[in-house]
Amino acid sequence: MISVEEARARILSGLAPTGTEIVPLSAALGRVTAEPILSRLTHPPQDVSAMDGYAVRAGDPQPRLVIGAAPAGHPFAGRVGAGEAVRLFTGSVVPEGADAIVLQEDTDRDGDSISIREAIRPGQHIRRAGQDFAEGQMMVQANARLNPRHVGLIAAANHAWVPVRRRPIVAILATGDEIVLPGDPIGPGGIVSSNSHALSAFVRACGGEPLLLPIAGDSISAIADAASSVRHADLLVTTGGASVGDHDLVAPALEGVGLKLDFWKIAMRPGKPLMHGSLGSVRLLGLPGNPVSSYLCALLFLKPAIERLLGLPGAAPRPIRAVLMTGLKENDHRADHLRCRLTEAEDGMLQAEPFGRQDSGMLSALAHSDAVILRAPHAAAVEAGSVVEVLRFDSLGA
Amino acid sequence: MISVEEARARILSGLAPTGTEIVPLSAALGRVTAEPILSRLTHPPQDVSAMDGYAVRAGDPQPRLVIGAAPAGHPFAGRVGAGEAVRLFTGSVVPEGADAIVLQEDTDRDGDSISIREAIRPGQHIRRAGQDFAEGQMMVQANARLNPRHVGLIAAANHAWVPVRRRPIVAILATGDEIVLPGDPIGPGGIVSSNSHALSAFVRACGGEPLLLPIAGDSISAIADAASSVRHADLLVTTGGASVGDHDLVAPALEGVGLKLDFWKIAMRPGKPLMHGSLGSVRLLGLPGNPVSSYLCALLFLKPAIERLLGLPGAAPRPIRAVLMTGLKENDHRADHLRCRLTEAEDGMLQAEPFGRQDSGMLSALAHSDAVILRAPHAAAVEAGSVVEVLRFDSLGA
């Protein structure tokens, strides 16, 4: 059995970013840039007014003659001479000759002339050309996941299209004679597939493209055929059948179609049987069949793998600190992940209350938990009130 | 001018959740349930084995005769009698007569019989029928935003379809003669539209359906026509033209087609001109034209409005604490929102470094900031090292 950290390193090893795809700006949210995005223009393009008011020369005597108006988008064609002013609005280009903007509310207008009630500082209320950014300037780095502010910045930099990483294709194969799709007829001893649907949603949340395969029964040929149908995928994720029982057929089935097995057991609970290998250019991640094990393995291994394929670091999910509300016994040799509830204390500190029952078959408990408490191999007993590390599901998109 | 809190309360007032839409399970991630989701079955449906091993009667003497095997999905038809065992696998139905599972690795098999090396506790390694959940049990409450674990649980509860709130339709109208779409020809004094693209992405991140309208020039009829075209929307968001300058045409244009104006000025920086009203059944939110003002108003007002339309509370974005790295002067009568960088100290505490330049026209600074520091109206000066509240963009989906 290998450690969680070694398993992750081996899964990430050699995973290269996917190719580049061009998407319209309106589809760029959440995608990862494949190249740096440079500005195609300077912004503001010229000196512009930051306020509604008048463009003037700071040093001139009162009053000033208003010689025109220039709404945003309609620059004043002439020049502001001595004792002159031009009416401007937020975003209007500052006309030649002017060196300051006075606010409309600081002036008194009398016919065609204005008197200014406040002292004028040269340059006041002018946004200088290029103050926000210049042509050629880096707007967004490569390998950045785009948020709505990035999208606005890319628009302002005059890009209608964005080069992003193709979403990694993650084929998902549920195996087992007892498994049926939701709503389909259920035979004796049958249960409804849940892992593959949770995984599919999780892949989507990570930025991958899930490809949900038909359920494969407990048959070597069904599993082999399914795997052979997804040679174009980046990852093949199986659930169930990854252990060593007589009916754990994933490894033998895939070996028949060329699987190079890397490892199939990790020192972790829940989730011991985790299989890793490759089928030609497709990486295989064989997850356990228990819903909690399957989901935690996805969080710890599949998410970093998808991120690495997107050109992101693919780091381990980042833990945060919480105060333990109930003491825990010492741990054995397997890294443990205890489902818990989080609450927030008055001082803002998180408090973690582990569930009494940690059965890895309890999907409802997983769905109703907020986090898992991380327990290192051979960790000593910890008392209530100690600070522990937790993986918080909502902040990890899980 | 009204306060930020009063403005939000008035915007949320009377906003009712959208109707219900049925989506396939595969499209349910991130949607908000319109009804409680109850389980359509009991899980496990019968007592099942939690491990690979043998079903036995705990009290019987050694050895035991193996009378059959029952892979998951293929229940054993007979009964386990005195001195008998049935080979089971994880998820196999426990046959009648048996009251415990012994692990395969705790047995020695000799032909058709097994000897068990460990003591047997009645009920061991059996997952009881309904241990995870029972038919009719609440799986997911109404008004919950679905994460991947919810999706798995809904699948396990045998639902292929999920009733969710229709995404609120948010029409977005950028106004201004100087504005063009990215990639389109740019006239003298023209700039590329960015607000509407950032807002469109933000609406999507909040769970709404953005409807990006063609840019309306500075013309009463263009603005009125655009507004009249979206009578089916839930919200109409305008950017620019919401102030009081001669060229701020949004209010007059919309008043001509029936706008009932509620307020148009709030005590906030950046973002003073924020207009709120209604056009028939469409709520109007008139955002400022400055990109930073526009985006912060979206975070503070539009996001709660979309959430309320989704059946969620629509609470104010939740601040977190950070240590201020540079002192701040006392604040005036307007709530301020200072763009800052966040870093994490060794002890896990966040540190907020406000940008020296807080110009609301600086889109690049907004895009490269991590959070805004909240400054209440009339807040006293604060020294470096004080704890302040910040709105962190990434955790708010912004």
Query: What is the ipTM score, two decimals?
Result: 0.94
- Closest Cα in chain A, distance from residue B335 (Å): 20
Between A260 and B359, the more confident residue is A260
Q: Do B44 and A359 touch (CB under 8 A)?
A: no
Chain B residues touching A157 at Cβ < 8 A:
192
Chain B residues closer than 8 Å to A176 by CB: 72-73, 91
Chain B residue with Cα closest to A248: B89
The answer to whether residue A243 scores a pLDDT higher than 70 is no
Q: Give me the phi and psi of B20, to 5 degrees please.
A: -95, 140
Calpha distance B12→B19 (Å, rounded): 17
Contact A245 B52 (CB under 8 A): yes
Query: What does the alpha-carbon distance between residue A132 and residue B15 come to, in Å, rounded to a whole number?
Result: 37
Residues, chain B: 398
Is the predicted pLDDT of residue A247 greater than 80, yes or no?
no
Spatial neighbors of B350 by CB under 8 A, at least 6 apart, are B320, B321, B322, B323, B342, B343, B344, B390, B392
**pLDDT classification of A166: cutoffs 50, 70, 90:** very high
d(CA A151, CA B201): 7
Cα–Cα distance measured from residue B288 to residue B274, given in angstroms and rounded to the nearest whole number: 6
CB neighbours of B5 closer than 8 A, spacing ≥ 6? Answer: B316
Q: Are A191 and B156 an interchain contact pair (Cβ–Cβ within 8 Å)?
A: yes
* B contact residues 242-261, partner A, Cβ 8 Å cutoff: 243-247
Q: Give the closest of B73, B154, B186 to A178, CB-based.
A: B73
CB proximity B194 to A under 8 Å: yes
Write down all domains in chain B, each with its CATH number in brackets.
4-17+167-309 (3.40.980.10), 22-42+145-165 (no CATH), 48-127 (2.170.190.11), 320-396 (2.40.340.10)
pLDDT tens track for A46-98: 999 988 899 999 989 889 999 999 988 899 999 999 999 999 988 899 999 99
Q: Over the stretch A274-310, which tens digit does the pLDDT of each residue have?
A: 999 999 999 999 998 889 999 999 999 999 999 999 9
Task: Please give, rounded to a whole number of angstroms, the shortest distance from the CA of B312 to a CA of chain A.
Answer: 16
Q: What DSSP element (H or E) covers B153?
A: helix B148-156
Predicted local distance difference test score (pLDDT) of residue B369: 96
B189 or A378: which leads in pLDDT: A378
Q: How far is A26 from chain B (nearest CA, A)?
A: 7
Hey, what amino acid is at B97? Answer: G
Greatest Cα-to-Cα distance within chain A, rounded to the nearest angstrom? 98
- Return per-residue pLDDT of chain B as tens, 398 residues: 899 999 999 999 999 999 999 999 999 999 999 999 999 999 999 999 988 899 999 989 889 999 999 988 899 999 999 999 999 988 899 999 999 999 998 999 999 999 998 899 999 999 999 999 999 999 999 999 999 999 999 999 999 999 999 999 999 999 988 899 999 999 888 899 999 999 999 999 999 999 999 999 989 999 999 999 999 999 999 998 766 565 678 999 999 999 999 988 899 998 778 999 999 999 999 998 889 999 999 999 999 999 999 999 999 999 999 999 999 999 999 999 999 999 999 887 899 999 998 888 889 999 999 999 999 999 999 999 999 999 999 999 99
B residues 125-164 lying closer than 8 A (beta carbon) to A: 127, 131-133, 139-140, 146-161
In the chain, the amino acid numbered A351 is Q
Q: Does the CB of A273 have a partner CB in chain B at under 8 Å?
A: no
Find the residue in A nearest to B95 (Cα): A189
Query: At residue A245, does pLDDT exceed 80?
Result: no
Residue A76 contacts B where some CB pair is shorter than 8 Å: no
Report CA A161 to chain centroid distance, whole Å.
20
Asked if B10 has any chain A CB less than 8 Å from its own CB, the reply is no
Which pLDDT value is given to residue A242? 61
Q: What is the largest CA-CA distance in chain B?
A: 98
Q: How far from chain centre, in Å, is Cα B149?
A: 14
DSSP A280-346: TTEEEEEE-SSHHHHHHHIIIIIHHHHHHHTTS--PPPPPEEEEESS-BPPP-SSEEEEEEEEEE-T
Residue among B340, B303, B298 at smallest CA distance from B323:
B340
Predicted pLDDT of residue A77? 92
Contact B361, B398 (CB under 8 A): no
State whether residue A205 sits within 8 Å of chain B by CB: yes
Q: How confident is the model at residue A273 (pLDDT cuts 50, 70, 90)?
A: confident
What pLDDT was estimated at residue B262? 94
The reported pLDDT for the residue numbered A324 is 97
Record: contact A193-B155, CB cut-off 8 A: yes
What pTM does this model have?
0.94
Task: Judge whether B100 is closer than 8 Å to chain A, CB to CB.
Answer: no
A149 closest CB neighbour out of B190, B295, B321: B295
pLDDT at A35 over 90: yes
Share of chain A above pLDDT 90, in %: 83
Contact A73 B29 (CB under 8 A): no
Residues of A in contact with B176 (CB under 8 A): 72-73, 91
d(CA A59, nearest CA chain B) in Å: 25
For A184, residues 6+ apart whose C-beta sits below 8 A from its C-beta are none
Contact B91 A178 (CB under 8 A): yes
Q: Å from B307 to nearest chain A CA?
A: 17
pLDDT of residue B245: 60
* pLDDT number for residue A347: 81
pLDDT at residue A249, as a whole number: 87
**Tokens encoding A214:** 């038909």
In this model, does residue A349 exceed pLDDT 90?
no
The pLDDT value recorded for residue B359 is 84
From the CA of B391, how many Å to the nearest CA of chain A?
Answer: 15
List the single residue in B72, B152, B393 with the smallest CB-CB distance to A198.
B152
